[in-house]
Chain A
Amino acid sequence: MTAAREFLRGNEALAYGALKTGLNAFFGYPITPSSEIPETLANEFGNPRYPGFKVFLQAASELEAINMVIGAASTGAKAMAATSGPGFSLKQEGISYAAAMELPMLIVDVNRGGPGLGNLGPEQTDYFQATKGGGHGGYRNIVLAPSSVPDMAAFPALAFSLAFQYRNPVLILADAFLGQLKEDLMFPEVPAQEFDTSWATTGARGPERHILSSMHLDLPELSRHSEHLRSKFEEIDRREQRSEKYQTDDADVILVAFGICARLSQRAVVMLREKGIRAGLLRPITISPFPRGELAALVQRGVKNFLVVELNTGQMLEDVRLATGGRARLASVQRVGGLLPSPLDIVRQVEAMPR
């Protein structure tokens, strides 16, 4: 049991998870609290254990990095970048282009305190930016929300799989706490997957050539393309909502939380159950597409109370409100600035809810 277990920081686990799933290229710019990702990758560059890892390049800026990712991704490669809030903002132009060009890629945002320069504490304030598409134009990202170091290790494989299956950027929205937290983990076996990359640029083949562009000057043509992106996301929404339920089967009140908040909420559920309150936790794994289906099912079952626990001033709360359709009471525990709610704070908030 001890041989295969590792003890890693979240950021390191994510880097190794990416390597083990066949990462080809990393382009990044140092920014706390995500710098351990490029540092780990720089250390492993050239390691024969990862023969697919062909390019590691520290870019001159966040802008340069995302555009290098665009270039590498356009050749069909598994390319990624990692950043935090201010860098994530800079990357939005590139992500918009990538979504429009239908390029697969992995972008990691280790959410720190914001807005502006903020601080280095954990927040979930980039939720809107990540899930509603922080760049210009009509597109959506797929966004995975890890809650543990094992998640950080496993999500890169899932991310690239979804990215190539749907030809869409995939984001991992972690937080500064998870980035530094160390836990035991075992890397999952990743089955090798083949994807169609006939769209990638390789040079023209006879009369056929690959044009990867987001420019559609003809109005109906752009309309058709945008419709295509929309229907693609509808398919993603139908098929890729992911979440985890903890003690929800008989619960009267459901906590909804991801990231470090999911861990604190899980403890709160244990504490509530000890007090005879039937609480449960729904932990979104994809925050885009948001697990509306699970929430709707809970409302359908008769759950009347939902408590959203998040490190922002009410962003996921809006998605929960939409998903529960006005048929349930909503409350929320919100912390920003890098502060965290304690499980006791969460328990008290649940106790204060009318039931």
Chain B
Amino acid sequence: MKIETILAGHGGQGVLELANWLAYFNMVKGRHVAYTPSYGPETRGGKVKCYVVSSDERIDSPIVDDPDILVVMNAPSMDFVPLLKTGGTLLVNSSLVSESHRRDDVKVVEVPATEIAGGLRAYSPEKGKDTAIAANSVMFGACLAVSGESIQDELDRIREVFGHFLTGRKAVYIPLNVKAVEEGFGHVTRARSAGLSPRSSVPHPGIAP
């Protein structure tokens, strides 16, 4: 089983962190992973685009030309929608993206990640501080949901991922981020069961319906 993901947004949104978490999560699940950070013309103007591949087999190309999952954190990143495989999943931060995806052969999952994150002030170690920055953690939960993971089984692994990356003084942010993941996961799961999400009934191998 292999899942190829492109993640895109602008600098400061934590897209690269999100990609790292996704890759590391898959690695601790025992899969091979590859993470390619941005380089090339898209880094001009603060654009961030990166690739994550996870696979049971050793990975050949780490570069993703036609992803199974496209994570779009901001409006300009909708430019990458044409790359998505037929039957792939478009995961959109609907707090910042309102434009239409203009494809009817992909599944669209809208997650108001920035708003959801903003509602988690109570979990911030600095009481009352704005937590919209955790939007990428919300999307992490959403990614896990569309990849067929089960949050109940994976909470330990998720803590392991954050434990690896948020070290030293950053460790106080782990509870906020774990909560954000749970919220993102929950949002997608609820939307799915309410029948709000998939625009296409074409199932893609390896992706949860």
Contacts and interface: CB of A to CB of B under 8 A. Distances in A.
B23 A182 contact: yes
A184 interface: yes
Contacts of A177: 36, 39
A300 B34 CA distance: 37
B60 A7 contact: no
A120 B62 CA distance: 19
B61 interface: yes
Contact of B39 (A7, A121, A343): A121
Interface string B36-54: 1101100000000000000
A235 to B, nearest CB: 33
Contacts of A2: 27-30
Interface string B52-70: 0000000111110100000
Contact size range, B: 20 to 34
Given A180-B36, A338-B39, A7 B61 contact: no
B24 interface: yes
Nearest to B26: A184
Given A176-B39, A184-B27, A264 B34 contact: no
A183 B62 contact: yes
A266 to B, nearest CB: 4
A344 interface: yes
B35 interface: yes
Contact of B65 (A1, A270, A342): A342
Contact size range, A: 20 to 34
B20 interface: yes
A183 B63 CA distance: 12
B121 interface: no
B192 interface: no
B27 A5 contact: yes
A183 B30 contact: no
A342 B63 CA distance: 8
Given A121-B40, A338-B40, A263 B62 contact: yes
A181 B19 CA distance: 12
Given A7-B23, A340-B63, A342-B65, A181 B35 contact: yes
Given A183-B62, A263-B61, A7 B30 contact: no
Main SS class of interface, A: mixed
Contacts of B32: 183-184
Contacts of A327: none
Contacts of B39: 120-121, 176-177, 180, 338
A343 B63 CA distance: 9
A267 interface: yes
A182 B32 CA distance: 11
A266 B27 contact: no
Contacts, number: 65
Contacts of A121: 39-40
B30 A264 contact: no
Contacts of B27: 2, 5, 7, 184
Given A7-B23, A7-B24, A267-B60, A182 B34 contact: yes
Nearest to B51: A181
A129 B27 CA distance: 37
Contacts of B62: 181, 183, 263
Given A180-B39, A183-B32, A266 B60 contact: yes
B59 A183 contact: yes
B140 to A, nearest CB: 16
B78 interface: no
Nearest to B32: A184
A343 B60 CA distance: 10
A263 B53 CA distance: 13
B33 interface: yes
24 contacts: A2-B29, A2-B30, A5-B28, A7-B24, A121-B39, A121-B40, A181-B35, A181-B36, A182-B36, A183-B34, A183-B35, A183-B59, A184-B27, A263-B60, A263-B62, A264-B61, A266-B60, A267-B60, A267-B61, A338-B39, A338-B40, A340-B63, A342-B65, A343-B61
Given A183-B35, A267-B61, 15 more contacts: A7-B35, A120-B39, A121-B39, A176-B39, A177-B36, A180-B36, A180-B37, A184-B27, A263-B59, A263-B63, A264-B60, A264-B63, A266-B61, A342-B63, A344-B65
6 residue pairs, one from A and one from B, having the closest CB atoms:
A267-B61, A266-B60, A182-B35, A267-B60, A184-B27, A2-B28
Interface of A: 1-2, 5, 7, 120-121, 176-177, 180-184, 263-264, 266-267, 270, 338, 340, 342-344
